[in-house]
Chains A and B, each alone.
Chain A
């Protein structure tokens, strides 16, 4: 009898898993089905560039089904719930899908509805997000008409998808305002619930001084309670107030609502998993890969990519009745745009924070870690082609899934994450 692998979500992780396993599972023995609520696969890193007119909207989207290998069934539907006991997923249109193994790859989504006042009178008037296609485009229009006042970039709560993107946006905004000759008429403020510019000490210090150099004000430890949309002010739980003329906010991020409805999620709808195998702590036949899980590393495409490599080999062992031998180390690496056609690269995992050095080859690089270079910026731009043509089809990319310490410069007493 044919066995069923069901993947919920055709984003980065879900698409890669379906494609890699389609090539490695016998088509007669295994059916692979991928469910998504729409057929538009976004190149999400591109959203960062839309507000500044660097990418055009048509460079961002492709059909989801066209990214899937032949022999993978694509179902366009909304998931109602997962019945883990019955090994069955119900869709909101009433259809039922049985599974032998389930991969939850439904990602994380900005939820402006979770902060009082965010969706009030100022939403998409003076309050914008850029983690959605609509938000990034609306912000592009708003920026065109913005030449003076207080521009506030704000993170609601961690964790968020691509935690470096708010800083990148801030650096790009700084460079863009300079280019237009209005930077000295704009007060640029970066507001974060974290104690500093970023989460890991070495990177936080480095990125913090980059904010200072650019005269960008940092407002740390800011836990937002609400937005007073009439006064155009952010209000924190400890009653600090930050006024804005233009607010670019990263709303609370949450996993999919069906995860919550199915009783599979934590307080933010993320699926608790073993952080090395991505197997659900509650159900051995359920995995959560990509942003949908609760693993303690960045919610980022690079993490999805590296963890999929480990997952696929483990999955083949599992269905062969063997123990899973692969162990994901939380490896993430991210290009950080810093404006003026330069960028940084950071590389880290569960145990080691971002360090200086070179990547992927010790000394030779060619990418410099934690240092602004033009090559890192070009690397980021080149990645869009790699994403569509190498990564999503599941072709091998010559980067090791596990992080390496070779070529990196450890920093004394700070190599261990707190």
Chain B
């Protein structure tokens, strides 16, 4: 597994740059990950990211777009504006979580 340096410390990531250990994440790192994909985090972004972190801690899995929308109370349309093109993937990336499981 590749190791990269972010927020001033070594971070373990997979080939696509997703964190492989969600516990290595903190909000400073989140801001840096967002910047790496061209996103400046606003309060609205943080609402989504914090929901993902809390939900992952409870469920052990990355929330789907629908779950962020219904349980995290942010409309899907807005998530597409906040995290353009691939909101599910981008939110997981910034939140330091695994890509949501491919649907089956």
Q: Which residues of A contact B (CB under 8 A)?
A: 157-159, 163, 194, 199-200, 221, 223, 225, 237-238, 266-268, 296-298, 332, 417-418
**Contact partner, B67, options A221, A223, A267, Cβ 8 Å:** A267
User: A417, B101: Cβ atoms under 8 Å?
Assistant: yes
Q: Which residues of B contact A (CB under 8 A)?
A: 64-67, 70-71, 76-77, 80, 84-86, 99, 101-104
Contacts of B104 on A, CB cut-off 8 Å? 158-159, 163, 199-200, 296-298, 332
Residue of B whose beta carbon sits closest to that of A350: B104
Cα–Cα, bound, A159→B65 (Å): 12
**Contact partner, B70, options A159, A267, A298, A417, Cβ 8 Å:** A267
Contacts of A332 on B, CB cut-off 8 Å? 104
Tell me the minimal C-beta distance from B94 to chain A in angstroms. Answer: 18
User: A268, B66: Cβ atoms under 8 Å?
Assistant: yes
A223-B76, A237-B76, A237-B80 given as contacts; is B85 within 8 A of A158 (CB)? Answer: no
User: A223, B102: Cβ atoms under 8 Å?
Assistant: no
User: B77, A418: Cβ atoms under 8 Å?
Assistant: no
Tell me the minimal C-beta distance from B89 to chain A in angstroms. Answer: 9
Tell me the minimal C-beta distance from B102 to chain A in angstroms. Answer: 5
**Contact partner, A194, options B65, B76, B103, Cβ 8 Å:** B103
User: A200, B85: Cβ atoms under 8 Å?
Assistant: no
Cα–Cα, bound, A157→B70 (Å): 15
Q: Per DSSP, are chain B's interface residues mostly helix, strand or loop, or mixed?
A: loop
Cα–Cα, bound, A157→B77 (Å): 15
A267-B66, A267-B67, A298-B104 given as contacts; is B85 within 8 A of A225 (CB)? Answer: no
Cα–Cα, bound, A221→B66 (Å): 15
Residue of B whose beta carbon sits closest to that of A303: B104
Contacts of A221 on B, CB cut-off 8 Å? 85-86
User: B102, A199: Cβ atoms under 8 Å?
Assistant: yes
Cα–Cα, bound, A240→B3 (Å): 37
Tell me the minimal C-beta distance from B28 to chain A in angstroms. Answer: 27
Contacts of B76 on A, CB cut-off 8 Å? 223, 225, 237
Q: Can you list 21 contacts pairing A with B, beta carbon distance less than 8 Å? A: A157-B66, A158-B103, A158-B104, A159-B103, A159-B104, A163-B104, A194-B103, A199-B102, A221-B85, A225-B76, A225-B77, A237-B77, A238-B84, A238-B85, A267-B66, A296-B101, A298-B104, A332-B104, A418-B99, A418-B101, A418-B102
A199-B102, A221-B86, A417-B101 given as contacts; is B80 within 8 A of A238 (CB)? Answer: yes
**Contact partner, B65, options A163, A199, A223, A296, Cβ 8 Å:** A223
Cα–Cα, bound, A163→B66 (Å): 18
Contacts of B99 on A, CB cut-off 8 Å? 418
Cα–Cα, bound, A18→B62 (Å): 35
Contacts of A237 on B, CB cut-off 8 Å? 76-77, 80
Residue of B whose beta carbon sits closest to that of A297: B104
User: A163, B103: Cβ atoms under 8 Å?
Assistant: yes
Give the most central of A159, A194, A221, A223: most B CB within 10 Å.
A223
Contacts of B102 on A, CB cut-off 8 Å? 194, 199-200, 417-418
Contacts of A157 on B, CB cut-off 8 Å? 66
Contacts of B77 on A, CB cut-off 8 Å? 225, 237
Residue of B whose beta carbon sits closest to that of A160: B103
Contacts of B64 on A, CB cut-off 8 Å? 267
Contacts of B65 on A, CB cut-off 8 Å? 223
Residue of A whose beta carbon sits closest to that of B99: A418
A225-B77, A267-B66, A268-B66 given as contacts; is B103 within 8 A of A199 (CB)? Answer: yes
